[in-house]
Amino acid sequence: MSSSESVILVVNNGDSAALNLKDLIEFMDTPHVQIAAPEEWQSKLGERRLQALFVGPDMSDEELDKLLSDIGKLDPNVPIVMMNQGEAT
Amino acid sequence: MNPTALQKQFPWARLHSLDYPVRLDALGAVLEEIHATHSHVRDEAHGEQGGQLIGDSDDMQQVRRLVEQVAPSMATVLIHGESGTGKEVVAHQIHELSARKGPFVAVNCGAIPEHLLESELFGHERGAFTGAVAARRGRFELANGGTFFLDEIGDMPAVMQVKLLRVLEERCIERVGGTKTIPVDVRVVAATHRDLGERIEQGKFREDLYYRLSVFPIEISPLRSRPDDVEPLANEFIRRLQSDATIGLELTPEAMQVLEEYSWPGNVRELANLIERLVVIRPNGVVAAKDLPWPLVERADAGSGLPEVLAASIAATGGDSGVTLPAEGIDLKAYLSKIERQMIDEALSESDGVVQHAAELLGIGRTTLVEKIRRYKIKH
């Protein structure tokens, strides 16, 4: 994959929900979806451009804090989609 | 952590939230927003200039100056230029050089069916029409805090022109099927390849909207009128394509000259496509003039003025040029260029360096002769 390619990243503390989300996003004709655990998302992203971040439902508050702080340093314009158990805006 | 608390803690973040397990319609709406705000990334992937204004011709320097002047302001900009000249690149550059932190959102007014355009621009509420299963923000809302690029504004239907004018005047929108007025902080940049003056005369474009949009007009000239930009553009496209999988594509000076002489009806986009094709055909090779696609070479010849010079020469010798084809053959293009240059030298000498007189002697226009003098680097 080239450095100019963009990717949607699904970060979650658990594979099941992450894989489910990846399948659904790809089903909506959006290729290049990568899943990652909270501690490995930067290495999984590599040189690619982050198009959007999906945050899975199994993240602790501490993991979420760190993830969003790191994303803010990388690119504050990246859309972030939070998964909530039974709550939506 | 709930989304409201998160937004407070990370005010810069562009947060969306979805219930989990996810409903497909809600996920689709979020993905559509994500794609819309990243339209410029898609354009870059499709071979446009990708955010840089390339070229040192007088015209491009002027465009660059205008962009730098207008970017920090909130002035509405109207960009005019033929298809493929890079209007979106200029719009994106205006956004990049502005202090606006929101996204750059683009929409092509000519590419969206009329009945969908209103919902696309202003969004809709749930149940606004058949199929509106969820509320959706429109492009104006998505561009909040940023720049909204309305491409091919000259093709916007009349009924939408009225609604757009209202948004530009009042800086607020209403979603389709909604009653709430939503304020939007959006800088509008519009573009068209059409002659809007003519469209106004034909009754196809509102004059009041035109004046509202053309607060700061920018004209991008076609590539054929700035041949100096062809080489830097071609080199930039080669550089970008080579960063992926190939190395070593090179254009000979003769090939580059053909590119500079070509009329480029598709402008910069056509040049980008040609380079991409050459990279595929000759990923690691030297491209000579003869390797270029034949329509390009043929049209370059037609536009070079060579037939006029040659015809004049042949006519002067009673229909016989006095030249015979050597048995070993010749490089016709190089040969004709040599004759052309010699004729220009003689005409300039004959006219004591007065270009207008020399052009008359050669039977070509003054502008054409000036261009040839520049190309051959003739000192007079």
In a domain, A41, yes or no: yes
Contact status of B20 with chain A (Cβ, < 8 Å)? yes
In a domain, A87, yes or no: no
Does the distance separating the beta carbons of A2 and B243 come in below 8 Å? yes
In a domain, A58, yes or no: yes
pLDDT tens-place string over residues B84-109: 999 999 999 999 999 888 888 989 99
Count of the separate structural domains present in chain A: 1
CA distance B30 to B50: 25
Nearest CA in chain B to A6: B41
Give me the domain span that covers residue A34. Answer: 3-82
Q: Is the predicted pLDDT of residue B187 greater than 60, yes or no?
A: yes
Does the distance separating the beta carbons of B38 and A28 come in below 8 Å? no
In a domain, A7, yes or no: yes
Contact status of B41 with chain A (Cβ, < 8 Å)? yes
pLDDT tens-place string over residues B143-154: 989 999 999 999
Alpha helices in B181-229 (DSSP H): 196-201, 207-213
In a domain, A34, yes or no: yes
Q: Give the mean model confidence (pLDDT) for residues B279-308.
A: 66
Q: Is the predicted pLDDT of residue B50 greater than 80, yes or no?
A: no
In a domain, A55, yes or no: yes
In a domain, A89, yes or no: no
**Contacting residues of B for A24, CB less than 8 Å apart:** 22, 24, 27
**CA of A62 vs chain B CAs: smallest distance (Å):** 10
**DSSP-assigned letter for residue B118:** H
pLDDT tens-place string over residues B249-288: 889 999 999 999 888 989 999 999 898 888 877 766 788 8
In a domain, A88, yes or no: no
Q: Could you give the ipTM of this predicted complex?
A: 0.91
**Contacting residues of A for B37, CB less than 8 Å apart:** 79
Q: Which of B34, B100, B141 is best to mutate for the A interface (most A CBs within 10 A)?
A: B34
Judge contact between A83 and A56, C-beta under 8 A: yes
CA distance B195 to B154: 8
Q: Give the mean model confidence (pLDDT) for residues B2-14.
A: 79
Nearest CA in chain B to A30: B31
CA A68, distance to chain mean position in Å, is 11
Q: Can you name the residues that pair with B106 across neighbouring β-strands?
A: B149
CA distance B344 to B323: 19
Q: Domain of A12: which CATH number?
A: 3.40.50.2300
pLDDT tens-place string over residues B332-359: 777 788 788 888 888 888 888 888 888 8
**CA of B336 vs chain A CAs: smallest distance (Å):** 44
Alpha helices in chain B (DSSP H): 3-9, 24-37, 39-45, 58-70, 87-97, 114-122, 139-142, 158-170, 196-201, 207-213, 230-242, 253-261, 267-281, 294-304, 306-316, 332-350, 355-362, 366-376
